[in-house]
Amino acid sequence: MARARPLRTRPPVPLRRRLDPELTACAHTAVIDLLREIGYDALTVEAVAARANCSKTSLYRRFSGKQEPVTEALRHLSPFDVDTVDTGSLAGDLHALIDGRGEDGLREDAALIRGLVSALHTDPEISSALRQPGPGRLDALIARAVDRGELADRHAASYHLPCLLLSAVLTRSLVDDVPVAGAYMHHFIDVVILRALSAVDGRHWYPSTNIAPGTGDGSGRAHSLGAELTAPQAGENHP
């Protein structure tokens, strides 16, 4: 009786092998995506390997645990492309930053922060990494506004600019139960940030560019006015 020939099976498709820079970049992307989806607490090296389509061994050769790829990925993240934004006015720059993020980008930013909440309170390395790429670089917008003469000096409210933008992104869904959107952020810039930056000694005024919110084409964005706004009168309500 003839021997049965063993069935031939296809060898498993090998996981892609990459050079170290490519592996690192794919790991960074996988980490950020997973942080948005499942959060830091549920994140594992195995999950990163599966998402990046590489072996767990390869990741452990590059990283000692999950904290390291998370901190690296955060340091390489640049949510606000400040270097390429220079519209000629502070208001224009702030609005351009929001346009640059887009609706999806704003919601991804909010999801990322939510996914990192627990780690931000317990891990100084992760907290420091998150602060490095985006919020601190907003100082460049203020410096340019000072150089252009829009702000007479480094305005006290400008120190709160990162917190103001971040709080608007994060709290929109918490307070109003709707996702953050570009229209909301543009309105927030006009009626909160620009007014805070223009308030001096109780007077609401707009420096040399005479920027005032909600005027012009009805879009809700800031446009130029030819005159300084007057100080609020006693008993007068202002939003």
pTM score:
0.67
Give the type of residue at 73. Answer: A
Q: Which residues contact 194 (CB under 8 A, 6 or more apart)?
A: 90, 91, 94, 206, 211, 213, 222
What's the pLDDT tens digit per position in 150-171? 876 666 677 788 888 888 988 8
CA–CA distance from 2 to each of 5, 9, 123 (Å)? 9, 21, 67
| pLDDT, tens digit, 9 for 90 and up, residues 168-222 | 988 888 888 888 999 999 999 999 998 888 764 333 334 444 444 344 333 444 4
Q: How far apart are CA 232 and CA 111, in angstroms?
A: 39
CB 51 within 8 A of CB 30: yes
